[in-house]
Each structure stands twice: as structure tokens, then as C-alpha cells.
Chains A and B, each alone.
Chain A
Amino acid sequence: MSLKQSGRRLSKQSLNGFINYGIVIVAYLVVQLMISQGLMSNSLQSLLVPVCCYVVMAVSLNLVVGVSGELSLGHAGFMSLGAFSGIIVSVTLQSVIDLAPLRLFISMVVGALVGGIGGVIVGVPVLRLRGDYLAIVTLAFGEIIKNVIMVLYVGVDENGLHFATSEAGLNLTEAGTAIVKGPMGAVGVVKVSTFTAGILLVLFTLLIVQNMVHSRSGRAILALRDNRIAAESVGISVTKYKLMAFVTSAALAGAAGALFGLNYSSTLASRFDFNTSILILVFVVLGGLGNIRGSIIAAALLYILPEMLRNFDVSKYRMLIYAIILILVMLATNNPTIRNFFLQLRQQAQERKGGQAQ
């Protein structure tokens, strides 16, 4: 009996993880089925890849805000880094690699690397400090990235990549193409992102975040969140583990950004502004801090909701309705009366189960 119990308890955390993989896979199969049956409108289908991106963004931000306990307000900045570096890589490799999925994969890897490097640059100085400095610096970082890309011109020709601050400064040859054109953003991108790639990225993100949290490193990150002084007293380096969580999160955001950027023929830098960062933070907070499954569901539903409302008569008021739903969800998840109600329901269900077992 006791052995059985301990076995069940041990597997509880991995079971939770498997349920999350299951939810994602089932969602994928349902969507594929709906598409094949013609049950899904084109506008809804066009949302599939962005939803995957935002799920990855929410889960990775949860690693910083929920698991590591630091507030980051510039997550869209890392997405932006990944998106533009991914686009540049994809366009550059267009003539070399014919296979679109491979090009997408390489773009996502490069996007993750660039995002990760951005994470190191922001994280190394800031995570040594105590307090809310990370929130301030990441907020500034997001704006800086946006403004830098707004004035950046990138082109490619047979001599390789060119970077400049004006189109004329690129000095491209006849055969060259400009990839990023400052305020016009990235243009003429061949769309290579697919829903399948998005789901694979979501699964990969879940693998990284969930396994990391239940390993030596993740334990250290959780310990730092719970009690920094005690963690230091048992020999856990604060900067190292805070940085590990932050950089992992930034790299995943970079990969999601690459997927996002390669889903549109043109991408503007202003798309990854402060509002986007806050939107992702809203997904994380509503899904529950440290709750991975909550992040997945909140990101998917709340991203689709405003677009769905577009289809109804109420489209004029869609943002109003969106706001009201946000407030209601917040109330429902934080109101003690409603919480107790659900708790009672769960207890009653358990009692019933117990009664049946006897």
C-alpha cells in the first residue's frame, strides 16, 4: 500500500507533464481533422501558427516570471530578435537550401541563438542586482530593439550580407535583394512556417521547460525564488541560475519569433512593441504563475478570442468584450468565494470516488 502510494506520488509531476504534451497533441489532431473536414474558416486557419508562437512565448515567459520570480517586460524584444534574424537567415539560404522545412528549422535555431545572446547581454548585468531592475531594463530593451530595427537596412547579394542605416547605403549588386527595409520592416519573405512546425516547437518548449524545472538546475531556480538568502547559504549561485532561466526563456522566445516572422510575407518591427510584451504577460498571469498548462490554455484562448469576436455582429465592441472577459477570468480565479465553490466541488467529487471504492 505505502509502496504503491509513494510510486504514484513520484510519478505525479511527470504525469502532469505528460498531460500537457497530450493536450497539445490532441489539439493538433483535432485541428487537422477539422481542416480536412472543411470545418475551419480560412481566417481561423491563419491564426494557427501565431497561436503556437504565443503559446511558446507564454510558456517561456512563465519560466522567468513564474518559476524564477523575476518580472520581465520585454519578452517581445527577444521575439523580435528571433523574427528578424530568422527572416534574414531564411531569405539568405533561399537559393542554397530548397527544402522549406529545413530552412525553417535553421532559421529557428539561429533565432534561438540570437535571442539567447540578447538574453545574456541583458541578463548578465541586471540579474546581479536585487529588486525590480530586470523589469525596467527589459522594458527599455524591448523599445531599443524595436527602434534599432526601425532604422536598420539589411540586404543580401552574391557578396554576402550587407548592413546599413539607409537603403542606398546597402550597396547591393543587381542580383541583390533588400530583406529588412528600416521602417517598412522585412518585406518579400517567403512564408515557410507551418502549423506542424509550430506544434513541434510547442512540444520542444514544453520538454525543455518541464524537464528543466524538475532537475537540479530547476530546483535551484525555484529555491532562489522561494528564499534567496537560504539558497545562497547552501551554496547556490544566484546569478548563474537566474541567468540560466532568463537566457533559456529568451532563446525559446527567439525561436518562436523566427516561426512568427516566417509566417507573414512582411513583418514590422512595431509589431513587437510593449503592448505585445504585456499581452504575453497577461497570458502568463491569467494562466497562473508557474502553471505551465495554464499558460498554454490562456495563450491559445485569449489569442483566438478577439479574432473570433471579429466574425460576429458585435465586432465593433470586440475589444470591450475582450476586456470584460479578462476581468471576469481574473475575478473568477482570484475571488475566494468562487475558489471555495470549485474547491468544494472537487472535494465532493473525491468523496464520491472514495465512496465508490469502498
Chain B
Amino acid sequence: MSTQPRREPTRLVPVPNPNKIPERDVDKSPILECRHLGIDFGGLTAVKDFNMAIGRTEIAGLIGPNGAGKTTVFNLLTKVYQPTRGTILLDGMDTNSMNTVQVNKAGIARTFQNIRLFDNLTVEDNVKLGLHNHISYGMWSGIFRLPSYWREEKVAHDRAMELLSIFDMGYLAKFKAGSLPYGAQRKLEIVRALATNPSLLLLDEPAAGMNPSETAELMDNIVKIRDMFGIAILLIEHDMNLVMGICEGIAVLNFGQIIAKGTPDEIKNDPAVIEAYLGKKKEG
């Protein structure tokens, strides 16, 4: 799957105040480790000293008020932005020299806050594009319809339908992605990301615009995906029921800095978090 050579884990200065990863993942190295990650846009520091470790099968949450820098963290992880400072270790591999495409091949897949599908292509083709790097026939086999074309397109079709069936979307396969209802588009984005066979899935506000019953279904599905694929999931979400319901570790971001890390119960009672969300209690 990964075309990058497996490198030895880079040894760096230890991170102060490391967050805990779930018990079952402790004996394995974390899938993602961010150390002192930061980015400046001109004079503005959007993210600073971001430290986080995610276990191999953990569902982690990244929360914070609007404009805290959550999506910027996603963009740093997927190399849409190049970090100004710090290191990202994906499975012990430094992603510093990689671009977006290579990061995806190395195992990070993502969805977007404002849905980005290939609107004019069919649902099936959208998923097949996720499988792009797992189909290997070349341009000439495609043009002259050589046997490898038929063989691999068949495999890709079967795999795409299998992935779509996770969300019971198989019957939508022939429709244009742009014509789907909003909720189905969100699900399709997740399916497309899963098709790239990631080891870490980044979900940017998966429940945005969903009603409570849809959110509940989504929660079940996120857990189902984790169990089925055995992957780690990091999600940004404003819906606290979802975050507190399924995340095992949560990091709270405010003004580009982590102000709290811990389990849902710890976060709920953290004074710094309460202050960030609700403001300071009036003295006296």
C-alpha cells in the first residue's frame, strides 16, 4: 500500500504532558504523533505547539470554538499547508518531505468541512477514484481495453459496491454525486476516503447539518468503520453528544493551542474548557 520506504522512527525530544492512548493500543507505537507542530500565516500564529498522539485503533476528537484552528490542523496533517515548525510522525515516519498525494498514499485519508465530491461523476466513480492507487492498469490498457482493464475494473467495481454497502448506498451507485441529498454526500465522502485504504481517517465535522437521528446513525457507523477496518479515526465535531459518545481521547483547541487533553469525562469537568466555551464566571 505505501510506496514510501519504511524508515526507522525518528527520535526527537520528548513531548511534555503527552496524552494517553487507549489501553489496548499502548503496546503498539501510535499511528500518528504530532510534536510541537505549528504554522504561521504571515504574522499570525494559527497553530502553535500542537502535541498529540493517536493510538492504532483509537477514535479521537478535536474540539474547540470556531476559528480555533481545528481545520488548520487537518490541513497540516494532510500537507495542504506545510508546517512552519514541528514534526508529524505517521506510523513513525516523518512526513516532512511529503506532499498531499504522498501523505494519502502513506495512509492518511480525509473528508472536508464543506463537502468536496466529484459532482459530475457517478457515486461509483467517486469511490473508484478513492481506489485509484489500488488499481494498477496503465493508460494504454485503458485505451485499448486490454485484459488487465476488464479484470481490474471488475475488482474495483466489486470493491466499490462493497464499500458503498457499509452505508447501504449501493442503490445510488449510478447517480451523479452532485445530485445526492446532503446526508448521502457526507457519507459518500467517508466511503471515498475509506477506499484509499487509510490507517488514519480524518473526519472534518461529519455530523454538520444532520438531525439527531442521522447523527445517532453516524455515530454507530463511525464505530463500525473503526471495528471493521481496524483503523484510527480523528474527528472534528461541534456536536458534543457525538464527541462525548464515541471519542476515547479528546483534545481541546483554543486560539491555536491545546488547552486540555483527556477522556470525555475529564474534558467535561476541565475548568479551562468550560471557560473557553462559556466564558469566565463573574467574580463575587
Residue positions of A touching B, CB distance < 8 A: 6, 9, 207-208, 211-212, 214-220, 222-223, 226-227, 229-238, 244
Residues of B144-199 contacting chain A, CB below 8 A: 144-145, 149, 152-153, 174, 192-193, 195-196
Measured CB to CB, the closest approach of chain A to B233, in angstroms, equals 16
Residues of B47-81 contacting chain A, CB below 8 A: 78, 80
Measured CB to CB, the closest approach of chain A to B193, in angstroms, equals 7
Asked if B105 is at the interface of the complex by the 8 Å CB criterion, the answer is yes
Are A219's CB and B128's CB within 8 A? yes
Total residues of chain B contacting the partner, CB 8 A? 38
Knowing A229-B80, A235-B105, say if A215 contacts B142 (CB, 8 Å): yes
Which of B9-17, B116-124, B266-274 has 4 or more CB atoms under 8 Å from chain A?
B116-124
Measured CB to CB, the closest approach of chain A to B77, in angstroms, equals 11
Q: List, sorted by A's number, 18 A–B pairs whose CB atoms are closer than 8 Å.
A: A9-B174, A207-B143, A215-B137, A216-B135, A216-B142, A217-B139, A217-B142, A218-B142, A222-B121, A222-B125, A223-B118, A226-B117, A226-B120, A227-B117, A229-B80, A230-B117, A233-B100, A235-B104
Measured CB to CB, the closest approach of chain A to B78, in angstroms, equals 6
Measured CB to CB, the closest approach of chain B to A352, in angstroms, equals 25
Measured CB to CB, the closest approach of chain B to A202, in angstroms, equals 16
Are A226's CB and B119's CB within 8 A? yes
Residues of B within 8 A of A234 (CB): 104, 109, 129-130, 132, 192-193, 195-196
A330 to B192, CA, bound (A): 38
Asked if B133 is at the interface of the complex by the 8 Å CB criterion, the answer is yes
Residues of B within 8 A of A232 (CB): 100-101, 104
| CB < 8 Å neighbour of B129 from A214, A229, A236, A237 | A236
Residues of A within 8 A of B149 (CB): 215
A6 to B161, CA, bound (A): 13
Are B174's CB and A219's CB within 8 A? no
| CB < 8 Å neighbour of B132 from A211, A226, A227, A235 | A235
* A211-B145, A216-B132, A226-B117 given; 11 more Cβ-contact pairs under 8 Å: A215-B141, A219-B121, A223-B118, A226-B118, A227-B117, A227-B118, A229-B116, A230-B118, A233-B78, A233-B104, A244-B139
Asked if B112 is at the interface of the complex by the 8 Å CB criterion, the answer is yes
| CB < 8 Å neighbour of B174 from A6, A231, A238 | A6
Interface of A, helix, strand, loop or mixed by DSSP: helix
Asked if B110 is at the interface of the complex by the 8 Å CB criterion, the answer is yes
Residues of B within 8 A of A208 (CB): 143
* CB-based nearest B residue for A208: B143
Are A211's CB and B109's CB within 8 A? no
Residues of B within 8 A of A223 (CB): 118, 121, 129
Residues of A within 8 A of B142 (CB): 211-212, 214-218
* CB-based nearest B residue for A222: B121
A237 to B139, CA, bound (A): 14
* CB-based nearest B residue for A213: B142
* CB-based nearest B residue for A211: B143
Residues of B within 8 A of A212 (CB): 139, 142-143
Measured CB to CB, the closest approach of chain A to B104, in angstroms, equals 4
Residues of B within 8 A of A6 (CB): 174
Measured CB to CB, the closest approach of chain B to A50, in angstroms, equals 26
* CB-based nearest A residue for B171: A2
Q: Report which residue of A215, A231, A232 has the largest number of chain B beta carbons within 10 angstroms of its beta carbon.
A: A215
Are A230's CB and B101's CB within 8 A? no
Residues of B within 8 A of A207 (CB): 143
